[in-house]
Amino acid sequence: MPPASHSRQHEPSSRRLRLVYDGECPMCRRYVRWQRIRTEVGKLELIDARRSSEARRELTDLGIDLDEGFALQVGERWYHGSEALHRLTLLGTRSGVFNRLMYRLFASPGRTAQFYPLLKRCRSGLLKMLGKGPIDNLDRK
């Protein structure tokens, strides 16, 4: 399994923020819709992992399995899974009930790592109930 975070030369912008998530997962879609990033951090680009994109190709080349969790790019560095959730939480605002709750749950990397397997199981179960297959960006069929 590849390390949780990866560096990759891309664009000179250190402010690049991209989140690659499962667009077929209702839980994931709701999370990205409600998550608010602090304005001074920059604008977050949301990318559906199930659609072809430059970000998906880059993550696949890095060996990052999008069925194991979403990926967050901050500047030139990619974070995956629980580390991505933790980093995204730190970039978020503390306004609104949802964002305050996310901060309380995921501001600690240790707590995020503990909760993340449960979130993955919930996502997997939900996708099975909806009849959705895996993202399979690494072609492991």
Q: What is the pTM of this model?
A: 0.85
Using 50, 70 and 90 to split pLDDT, how confident is the model at 141?
Answer: low
What letters, b where the CB count within 10 A reaches 16 and e where it falls short, cover 84-108?
bbbbbbebbeeeeeebeebeeebee
Asked if 8 and 68 count as a contact pair (C-beta separation under 8 A), the reply is no
Does 17 have pLDDT greater than 80? yes
Does 101 have pLDDT greater than 90? yes
Name the one residue in this structure whose structure tokens are 């993955």: 120
Does 1 have pLDDT greater than 90? no
